[in-house]
């Protein structure tokens, strides 16, 4: 069974013969498709060192896609006190990541078309480094939020373009390379959650130093992409009819496939008319709400229950590290099933169990609740897999992905802020945890609707 979802981009499927217009030079793409020189795909025999450099770049980039968030969650109490933040303002701070992902992530396809995905990822890594370097030394809340937004902007565009880089350089190893950077992402997430507090204590106890250390890791992530900057797609026109993948920055020849005609590929579906697309966007948003509430507030919930700060960080790390093995298992299982609803319900029930435990006995069963919530948070790779399965064409997948993620991140923005407001005004975690658990019910409903065996083309 293939690692990746059943629906693939036509640019990476085995191609049928295509005619090369007079006056152009034909080259072979890694997928075997015929392309003109103006298309400028990655050469079929890319240098081994180039592929090695891209692999290192992907791993280092993925390691830096979450520490800006989880390192702050581990030190949120110290940061709030140091900057004199109220609970509501701290809630705004935990809402910044999904806001930046919604606003800046949608610009990634256009930036990739203009500058090339490699250049945009390199700039994204530089933005992460700059933001993480500046924010610990901001003089107030506004400066801290601005520096955080800069880092999150880099994360947003890089996060969107990681699959594009994989498809471009490793078209025959999409599943294994996606698994590699997914594992690195989960590892970076959990490492920042577990190590930030002990590292801060070892460096003198100043939260500014503890947060600033992660800028050094981000600096390393910039280096592998610099030699690759010369590898830019050519925007020149060719005589070959092509479809444009907005997220890839390259023009892919239209090829015949068993699932989509060239006409279908040239006319992607209007996903806003699809009930499945809306259900998938809502599912993505609700699972993102739970994930960002967890990353922003879970350590504080445990600390208020009497769990030591260092242990609270490790508990968050346990929750995050569950994504390492399950990121491999869940997508493969989902592609073997015609309807992904049962997986959605199983993950939702784990979330309900975890939140119920946090409500009744947060300290006594802390490790069990962390594990259950870690399983529940693996709705993220499931959502990405369903995006690939709910459209028949590559162009449809691109539109569905952009729509579902934009809608989803917009939906997720109020969640962390509302948790902060409820916590401040109620004086405890009862109401916020009840809200978190209650959101699992609509998540299971819309996820079940999104998991039905149909495509957006059937509904448009």
Packed helices 309-321 and 323-335: angle between N→C axes, nearest 10 degrees: 20
Average pLDDT estimate for 265-277: 75
Between 169 and 57, the higher pLDDT residue: 57
* Distance set, CA 161 to CA 38, 128, 457 (Å): 22, 15, 24
How much is the pLDDT for 451?
94
Which pLDDT band holds residue 109 (cuts at 50, 70, 90)?
A: confident
Residue pLDDT, tens place only, 350-393:
999 999 999 999 999 999 999 999 999 889 888 877 887 887 76
- Please count the other Cβ atoms lying within 10 Å of the Cβ belonging to residue 204: 8
Under a CB-based contact definition with an 8 Å cutoff, are residues 405 and 162 in contact? no
Q: How confident is the model over 208-217, as a mean pLDDT?
A: 92
| Residue 14 and residue 31 in contact, taking contact as beta carbons nearer than 8 Å | yes
Structure tokens at 354: 């975890």
In this structure, the dihedral spanned by the alpha carbons of residues 287, 290, 293 and 296, taken in order and rounded to 10 degrees, is -70
| Whole-number Å distance between alpha carbons of 349 and 376 | 8
Per DSSP, the three-state class of 27 is strand
What pLDDT score was predicted for residue 254? 35
Q: What is the pLDDT of residue 306?
A: 92
Contact indicator for 186, 316 with CB cutoff of 8 Å? no
**252/189: higher pLDDT:** 189
Average pLDDT over residues 405-434: 87
**pLDDT value of residue 25:** 38
How far apart CA 97 and CA 408 sit, in angstroms, is 13
Quickly list DSSP for 344-387: HHHHHHHHHHHHHHHHH-TTTTHHHHHHHHHHHTTHHHHHHHHH
Question: Taking residues 155-161, what's their average pLDDT?
Answer: 84
pTM: 0.67
Per-residue confidence (pLDDT) for residue 269, from 0 to 100: 67
With cut-offs at 50, 70 and 90, classify the pLDDT of residue 342.
Answer: very high
CA distance 458 to 60: 40
Q: Is the pLDDT of residue 296 over 80?
A: no
Q: With a cut of 60, say whether residue 6 has pLDDT above it.
A: no
Measured between alpha carbons, how far is 174 from 167 in angstroms, rounded to an integer? Answer: 6
Residue among 307, 274, 99, 71 nearest 191 (CA): 71
**Position 339 pLDDT exceeds 70:** yes
pLDDT of residue 4: 40
Percent of the chain residues topping a pLDDT of 70: 78
């Amino acid at each position: 069974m293939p690692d990746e979802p059943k629906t693939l981009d036509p640019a990476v499927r085995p191609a049928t013969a295509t005619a090369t217009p007079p006056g152009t030079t034909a080259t072979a793409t890694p997928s075997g498709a015929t392309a003109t020189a103006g298309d400028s795909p990655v050469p079929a025999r890319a240098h081994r060192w180039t592929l090695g450099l891209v692999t290192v770049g992907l791993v280092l980039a993925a390691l830096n896609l979450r520490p800006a968030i989880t390192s702050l969650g581990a030190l949120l109490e110290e940061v709030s006190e140091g900057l004199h933040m109220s609970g509501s303002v701290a809630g705004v701070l935990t809402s910044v990541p999904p806001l930046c992902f919604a606003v800046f992530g949608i610009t990634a396809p256009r930036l990739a078309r203009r500058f090339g995905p490699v250049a945009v990822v390199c700039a994204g890594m530089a933005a992460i480094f700059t933001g993480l370097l500046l924010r610990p030394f901001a003089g107030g809340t506004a400066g801290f939020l601005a520096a955080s937004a800069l880092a999150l902007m880099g994360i947003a565009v890089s996060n969107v373009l990681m699959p594009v880089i994989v498809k471009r350089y490793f078209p025959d190893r999409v599943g294994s390379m996606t698994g590699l950077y997914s594992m690195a992402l989960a590892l970076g997430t959990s490492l920042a959650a577990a190590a930030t507090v002990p590292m801060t204590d070892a460096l003198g106890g100043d939260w500014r130093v503890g947060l600033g250390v992660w800028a050094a890791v981000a600096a390393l992530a910039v280096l592998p992409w610099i030699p690759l900057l010369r590898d830019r797609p050519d925007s020149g026109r060719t005589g070959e009819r092509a479809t444009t993948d907005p997220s890839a920055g390259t023009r892919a020849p239209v090829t015949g496939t068993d699932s989509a005609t060239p006409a279908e590929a040239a006319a992607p579906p209007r996903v806003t008319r699809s009930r499945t697309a809306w259900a998938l966007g809502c599912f993505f948003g609700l699972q993102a709400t739970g994930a960002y509430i967890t990353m922003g507030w879970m350590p504080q919930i445990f600390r208020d229950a009497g769990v030591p700060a260092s242990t609270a960080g490790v508990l968050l790390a346990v929750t995050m590290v569950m994504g390492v093995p399950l990121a491999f298992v869940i997508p493969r299982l989902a592609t073997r099933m015609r309807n992904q609803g049962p997986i959605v319900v199983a993950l939702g029930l784990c979330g309900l169990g975890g939140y119920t435990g946090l409500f009744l006995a947060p300290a006594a069963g802390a490790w069990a609740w962390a594990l259950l919530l870690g399983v529940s948070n693996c709705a993220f790779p499931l959502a990405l897999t369903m995006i690939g399965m709910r459209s028949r064409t590559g162009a449809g997948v691109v539109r569905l992905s952009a729509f579902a993620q934009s809608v989803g991140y917009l939906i997720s923005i109020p969640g962390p802020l509302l948790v902060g407001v409820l916590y401040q005004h109620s004086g405890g975690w009862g109401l916020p945890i009840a809200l978190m658990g209650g959101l699992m019910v609509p998540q299971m409903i819309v996820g079940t609707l999104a998991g039905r065996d149909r495509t957006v083309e059937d509904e448009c």
